[in-house]
């Protein structure tokens, strides 16, 4: 099972690499405006946000739904070929891909945490980072047309679907039992926690959707920009390999620290968009702002709630979904109207995330005292 999980993460995050590094640039190349790109890339996260609520209203997260998500992902990857020249068609393809990806990853995450535990999770999850950086380094050398990026997207989607199907086929009995647990997730009671986690992903809207465009507009070459992406992922891989001991500590404190550091990271991008030394340093912080934050967040929610699969669905849907939707949308309009201040706004949002997580920790302390 560890080999299958490592392979899944490798190909799944290779898809993400194609999607977030190259697709915005592809759309810009064929004539879409920054606001249109923001809207297109906000569609998938919005779907990720809405889907978990369907599972609280009677829809059951089981193997049949999971396999349907695999089919939707593959179909949407094919539809990109026929949608590139039409805003509404490509918007629809993004929505379909969002549906597939939003169901697949949280389902596999639960299997990973149950099978290998949080201490070993990083050593398996790092293969996703390897897939992400490899596709970035390879595709940048061959991206002479939009079709090349779409070919990579389709092939990687097929490989991801095939491996995910095998994983769940061997684990479906355990996963189905998880879905039978009574829902104990109260979003309103835990609002400070969820706002903090979500704002963190809102701040990433500037980075995920516009970092490539931002740097190339400041005169950094596309090759160098990809090296920056890759360097950040290498830092992420390093953290994923060695984070096991950290995750035995105070997970909530880790979340507060990583969100604060992310605010510093975005502020550096605002101040020094052309300074390669500072840019590479800021990318080392990806080890904290993505790798450690993500692992601490899913581990914290896994132990906080009894309904573990739905907790991961909400984490994916609310933080990466709603947060990604708002982040992509706001970043598109900010970059179109006030491009200089894109990462300054992102820094402020990340610091707000840290503040809400601090407020959540204080609430927990008061409850313990009472």
Tens-digit pLDDT profile for residues 310-327: 788 788 788 887 888 888
pLDDT at residue 259 is higher than 90: yes
pLDDT tier, 203 (very low <50, low <70, confident <90, very high otherwise): very high
What is the pLDDT at residue 204? 93
Where is average pLDDT lowest: 28-32, 169-173, 246-250? Answer: 169-173
Tokens found for residue 176: 């189905």
Cα 43 from Cα 54, distance rounded (Å) = 17
What is the pLDDT at residue 249? 83
pLDDT at residue 370 is higher than 80: no
Chain segment 100-120, per-residue pLDDT in tens:
888 888 888 878 877 877 777
Enter the DSSP assignment of 184.
-
What φ, ψ does residue 74 adopt, rounded to 5°?
A: -65, -45
Interval 254-260 mean pLDDT? 96
What is the pLDDT at residue 16? 86
Mean pLDDT taken over the chain: 84
Neighbours of 183 (CB within 10 A): 12
Domain definitions of the chain by residue range: 2-369
Tokens found for residue 250: 């105070």
pLDDT at residue 261 is higher than 50: yes
| DSSP per-residue letters across 9-34 | HHHHHHHHHIIIIIHHHHHHHTT--H
What is the pLDDT at residue 57? 62
What is the pLDDT at residue 183? 64
Interval 140-154 mean pLDDT? 75
Cα 327 from Cα 207, distance rounded (Å) = 9
* Helical ranges in the chain per DSSP H: 2-17, 23-29, 34-54, 63-79, 87-142, 146-179, 191-217, 222-242, 251-271, 276-284, 286, 293-304, 308-314, 324-337, 342-369
pLDDT tier, 51 (very low <50, low <70, confident <90, very high otherwise): confident
Return the ∠ at Cα 322 (arms to 319 and 328), rounded to 5°. Answer: 105
pLDDT at residue 12 is higher than 80: yes
What is the pLDDT at residue 350? 97
Chain segment 207-236, per-residue pLDDT in tens:
988 898 899 999 998 889 888 988 998 898
Chain segment 57-98, per-residue pLDDT in tens:
656 667 888 888 899 999 988 988 888 888 888 888 888 888
pLDDT at residue 346 is higher than 60: yes
Contacts 24+ apart (CB under 8 A), 176-182: 176/62, 176/63, 178/110, 178/114, 178/307, 178/308, 178/309, 179/60, 179/61, 179/62, 179/309, 179/310, 181/306, 181/307, 181/308, 182/306, 182/307
pLDDT at residue 25 is higher than 80: no
pLDDT at residue 175 is higher than 60: no
Quick one: what percent of the chain has pLDDT higher than 70?
92
pLDDT at residue 293 is higher than 90: yes
Cα 339 from Cα 179, distance rounded (Å) = 44
What is the pLDDT at residue 273? 92
Cα 317 from Cα 201, distance rounded (Å) = 11
The whole model's pTM is what?
0.76
pLDDT tier, 179 (very low <50, low <70, confident <90, very high otherwise): very low
Is the domain defined by 2-369 classed in CATH 1.20.1250.20? yes
What is the pLDDT at residue 178? 44
Look up tokens 């193997």; give the residue: 63
Cα 74 from Cα 175, distance rounded (Å) = 23
């Amino acid at each position: 099972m560890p080999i299958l999980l490592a392979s899944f993460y490798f190909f799944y995050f290779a898809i993400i690499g194609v999607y977030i590094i190259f697709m915005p640039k592809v759309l810009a190349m064929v004539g879409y405006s920054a606001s249109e790109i923001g809207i297109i890339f906000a569609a998938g996260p919005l779907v990720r946000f809405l889907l978990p609520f369907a599972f609280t209203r009677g829809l059951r997260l089981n193997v049949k739904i999971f396999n349907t998500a695999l089919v939707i992902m593959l179909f949407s990857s094919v539809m990109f070929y026929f949608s590139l020249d039409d805003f509404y068609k490509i918007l629809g393809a993004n929505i379909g891909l969002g549906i597939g990806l939003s169901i697949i990853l949280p389902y596999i995450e639960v299997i990973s945490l149950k099978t290998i535990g949080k201490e070993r999770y990083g050593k398996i999850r790092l293969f996703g980072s390897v897939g992400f950086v490899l596709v970035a380094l390879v595709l940048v050398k061959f991206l002479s047309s939009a079709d090349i990026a779409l070919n990579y997207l389709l092939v990687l989607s097929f490989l991801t679907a095939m491996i995910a199907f095998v994983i769940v086929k061997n684990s479906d009995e355990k996963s189905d039992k998880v879905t039978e647990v009574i829902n104990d997730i109260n979003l309103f009671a835990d609002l400070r926690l969820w706002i903090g986690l979500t704002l963190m992903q809102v701040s990433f809207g500037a980075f995920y959707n516009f970092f490539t465009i931002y740097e190339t507009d400041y005169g950094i070459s596309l090759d160098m920009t990809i090296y920056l992406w890759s360097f950040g992922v290498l830092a992420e891989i390093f953290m994923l390999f060695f984070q096991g001991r950290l995750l035995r500590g105070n997970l909530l404190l880790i979340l507060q620290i990583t969100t604060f550091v992310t605010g510093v990271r975005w502020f550096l991008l605002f101040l020094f968009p052309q300074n390669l030394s500072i840019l590479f340093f800021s990318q080392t912080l990806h080890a904290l702002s993505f790798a450690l934050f993500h692992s601490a967040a899913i581990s914290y929610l896994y132990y906080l709630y009894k309904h573990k699969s739905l907790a991961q669905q909400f984490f994916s849907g609310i933080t990466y979904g709603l947060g990604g939707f708002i982040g992509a949308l706001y970043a598109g309009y900010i970059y179109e109207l006030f491009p200089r201040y894109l990462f300054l706004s992102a820094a402020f949002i990340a610091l707000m995330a840290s503040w809400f997580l601090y407020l959540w920790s204080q609430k927990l302390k008061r409850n313990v005292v009472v």
